[in-house]
């Protein structure tokens, strides 16, 4: 008969059953313990019953009862714990006799096992001895150490901005299609890097101070700026020995394909460690493409004997807007410039960066020297 407001069926879950069994086991153990204590008290006050034939012979010797006077030291002391706790101690591989209980009457509980496990874990941890190995700098590291140490003594001005590479990407695709139709192309393909190197060279015509050097100790006079006619652009390349900066000479007279061929040639020489000292000297400005490894922005450091350096970040696809206000995908890259602030002011560097950015937006002018 169903009664309003009363449950129709009671369902015992496994957790509740286990909890009830654990409580029942603990209550049973407490009852047995109390009965044992009552029996011991009764036997200690009542005179022994010798009416039977064997009444004066105990079932077990007193010395075999754990905790009794005269018991052997090898006998295990009485340990209070529920079967669930004992099972957990076996799973954790913790001898339950070594755990001190915090429950009533010294009963071992679950949290006692967890604390015991934590103590065992901490005691098993051994501190590792630090070892140090000294190695001399490689020749490239030694040169980088000297160059960067001197570079950090200069006041440097940093300028960064993001640019839309969509038009430059389209030009690159056209150039690679042009190469694929040639029977013996000068290079396999053209990357962004040669295009940007050519853009820097064309812009240096209008901003020659960034291609100059500073002579700090001319004979008998004040520091002077020395302008240089050739655009010898250093290209930073990652190699197994470290960062190397070979120099592409007279970039103003080279086509995009010729610049690309030089970059590929230097990359192969750098990987094999075959760059000569002449390949690494004579640069007037440097372009570093950190984006090939990763990273959006960078803080390039000046190279000794130069007044400016350009760092190229990684190109990535971002949402943009066309002339109608519609969202379209576009290729974006961050260009980071650094210049010697002793002779190059921020406005000059910003204008130089803007001129390069204009060639990126309208890269058709780079094709004038395609040959």
Residue 176 CA neighbour count, 13 Å, CB half = 13
Please state the separation of Cα 100 from the chain's center in Å. 44
Q: Model confidence over 194-232: pLDDT tens digits?
A: 999 999 999 999 999 999 999 988 776 789 999 999 999
Catalytic residues: 341, 345
H/E stretch holding 169 reads helix 166-180
Q: What is the per-residue pLDDT for 52?
A: 45
In the chain, which stretches have pLDDT less than 50? 12-20, 22-24, 33, 36-37, 39-73, 371
State pLDDT tens for residues 88-106.
888 887 788 878 888 887 8
- In the numeric block, the tokens 């109608």 are attached to 324
User: Cα–Cα distance between 205 and 188 in angstroms, integer?
Assistant: 29
Q: Are 283 and 321 in contact (CB under 8 A)?
A: no
């Amino acid at each position: 008969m169903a009664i309003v407001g009363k449950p129709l069926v009671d369902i015992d879950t496994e957790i509740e059953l286990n909890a009830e069994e654990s409580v029942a086991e603990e209550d049973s153990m407490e009852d047995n313990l109390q009965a044992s204590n009552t029996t011991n008290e009764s036997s200690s006050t009542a005179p022994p019953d010798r009416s039977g034939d064997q009444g004066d012979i105990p079932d077990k010797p007193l010395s075999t009862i754990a905790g009794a006077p005269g018991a052997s030291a090898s006998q295990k002391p009485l340990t209070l714990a529920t079967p669930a706790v004992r099972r957990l101690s076996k799973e954790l591989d913790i001898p339950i006799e070594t755990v001190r209980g915090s429950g009533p009457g010294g009963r071992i509980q679950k949290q006692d096992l967890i604390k015991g496990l934590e103590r065992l874990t901490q005691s098993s941890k051994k501190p590792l001895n630090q070892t140090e190995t000294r190695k001399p700098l490689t020749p490239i590291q030694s040169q980088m150490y000297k160059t960067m140490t001197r570079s950090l003594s200069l006041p440097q001005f940093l300028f960064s901005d993001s640019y839309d590479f969509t038009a430059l990407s389209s030009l690159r695709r056209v150039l690679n299609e042009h190469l694929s139709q040639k029977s013996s192309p000068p290079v396999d393909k053209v990357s962004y890097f040669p295009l940007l190197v050519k853009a820097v060279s064309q812009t240096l015509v209008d901003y020659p101070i960034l291609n100059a050097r500073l002579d700090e100790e001319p004979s008998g006079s004040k520091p002077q700026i020395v302008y240089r006619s050739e655009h010898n652009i250093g290209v930073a390349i990652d190699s197994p020995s470290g960062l190397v900066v070979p120099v592409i000479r007279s970039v103003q007279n080279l086509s995009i394909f010729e610049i690309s061929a030089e970059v590929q040639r230097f990359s192969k020489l750098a990987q094999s460690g075959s760059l000569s000292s002449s390949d690494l000297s004579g640069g007037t400005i440097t372009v570093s493409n950190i984006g090939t490894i990763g990273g959006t922005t960078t803080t390039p450091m000046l190279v000794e004997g130069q007044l400016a350096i350009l760092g190229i970040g990684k190109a990535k696809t971002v949402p943009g807007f066309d002339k109608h206000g519609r969202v379209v995908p576009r290729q974006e890259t961050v260009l980071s410039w650094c210049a010697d602030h002793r002779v190059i002011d921020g406005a000059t560097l910003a204008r130089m960066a803007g001129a390069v950015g204009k060639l990126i937006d309208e890269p058709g002018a780079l094709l004038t020297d395609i040959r």
